């Protein structure tokens, strides 16, 4: 297993770790891993390191990315910088060795779930919106305990004021930003999606993933809600747990097409 640190932009937070299985040959399917932490500066891509190893164990490449986040040490994250970084990191796959830019899936945890689904649906953005110029298309998405409806999260204070800090105001103040940033506002995304959530999650309510999956299916999407009994918020990024098994099964089906 090899890991390379690669910059996809000039800012110090515009960086990712490309993980490849030992002895890998040819262009591999790639999973873009996007960490959570309510987009705050103190949380980093290190949170997804164990999942990156698990991805390579399945014979795929992992692109574990960092991005500009909110806070004094976040590098100026928030709207639109955070979203521009996610778009740039995904598009950078077109120039990375050992990966197949035609077989790309995103997998995000918590606030990273927002960004994983947004990356899969940014082709739905209006022309000129941040991230709307798509160079690498996402084939599938996985949300692990994701904040997948930013209006609902803002209204119910999921993460306190995290959503308002990300977007520079609440849903009533900057509705256009919510329309461009929230995955729920972009459905149907047009790609297979797995919404995996532990029923013991007290950080992001499981009902948000369930409601999103229902909304997406009504729009024609292949979207599945997977509820895990006895599982909390952080356990879904444990590669030894049930969540990764469900996620990898979803990805296996997509990459086999």
Report the CATH number that the domain containing residue 50 is assigned in CATH: 3.40.50.1820
What pLDDT digit, counting tens, does each position of 188-224 carry? 999 999 999 999 999 999 999 999 999 999 999 999 9
CA 104 to chain centre: 12
CB 188 within 8 A of CB 220: yes
Residue 1: what pLDDT?
62
pTM exceeds cut of 0.85 = yes
Two structure tokens written together for 171: 């849903």
- pLDDT tens-place values along the chain, 257 residues long: 689 999 999 999 999 999 999 887 889 999 999 999 999 999 999 999 999 999 999 999 999 999 999 987 778 999 999 999 999 999 999 999 899 999 999 999 999 999 999 999 999 999 999 999 999 999 999 999 999 999 999 999 999 999 999 999 999 999 999 999 999 999 999 999 999 999 999 999 999 999 999 999 999 999 999 999 999 999 999 999 999 999 999 999 999 87
Domain count, the chain: 1
Q: What is the sign of the dihedral through the CA atoms of 3, 9, 94 and 149?
A: positive
Q: Is 247 helix (H, G, I), strand (E, B) or coil?
A: helix
Report which of 116, 63, 51, 109 is spatially closest to residue 86, judged by C-alpha positions: 116
Residue 257: what pLDDT?
74
Residue 24: what pLDDT?
79
* 49-57 and 242-255 helices, crossing angle to 10°: 50
Residue 73: what pLDDT?
76
Give the domain range for residue 172: 2-255
Ramachandran class of 47: left when φ > 0, alpha when ψ lies in -120 to 50, beta otherwise? alpha
Q: Which residues are 62's β-sheet partners?
A: 19, 31
CB 107 within 8 A of CB 32: yes
Residue 25: what pLDDT?
82
Angle in degrees, CA 49, 233, 117, rounded to 5: 70
Ramachandran class of 168: left when φ > 0, alpha when ψ lies in -120 to 50, beta otherwise? left
């Amino acid at each position: 297993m090899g890991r390379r640190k690669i910059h996809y932009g000039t800012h110090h937070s515009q960086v990712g770790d490309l993980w490849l299985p030992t002895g890998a040959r040819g262009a591999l399917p790639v999973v873009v891993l996007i960490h959570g932490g309510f987009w705050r500066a103190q949380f980093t891509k290190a949170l997804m390191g164990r999942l990156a190893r698990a991805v390579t164990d399945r014979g795929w490449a992992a692109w574990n990315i960092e991005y500009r986040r909110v806070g004094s040490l976040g590098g100026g994250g928030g709207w639109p910088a955070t979203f521009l970084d996610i778009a740039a990191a995904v598009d950078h796959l077109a120039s990375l060795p050992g990966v197949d830019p035609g077989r790309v899936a995103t997998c995000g945890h918590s606030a990273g779930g927002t960004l994983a689904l947004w990356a899969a649906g940014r082709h739905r953005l209006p022309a000129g919106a941040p991230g709307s110029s798509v160079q690498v298309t996402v084939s599938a998405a996985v949300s692990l305990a994701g904040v997948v409806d930013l209006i609902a999260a803002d209204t119910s204070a999921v993460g306190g004021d995290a959503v308002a800090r990300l977007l520079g105001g609440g849903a009533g103040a900057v509705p256009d930003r919510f329309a461009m940033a929230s995955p729920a506002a972009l459905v149907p995304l047009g790609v297979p999606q797995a919404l995996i959530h532990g029923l013991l999650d007290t950080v992001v309510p499981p009902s948000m993933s369930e409601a999103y999956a229902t909304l997406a299916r009504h729009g024609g999407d292949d979207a599945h809600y997977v509820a895990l009994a006895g599982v909390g918020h952080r356990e879904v990024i444990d590669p030894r747990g049930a969540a990764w098994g469900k996620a990898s099964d979803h990805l296996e089906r997509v990459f086999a097409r």
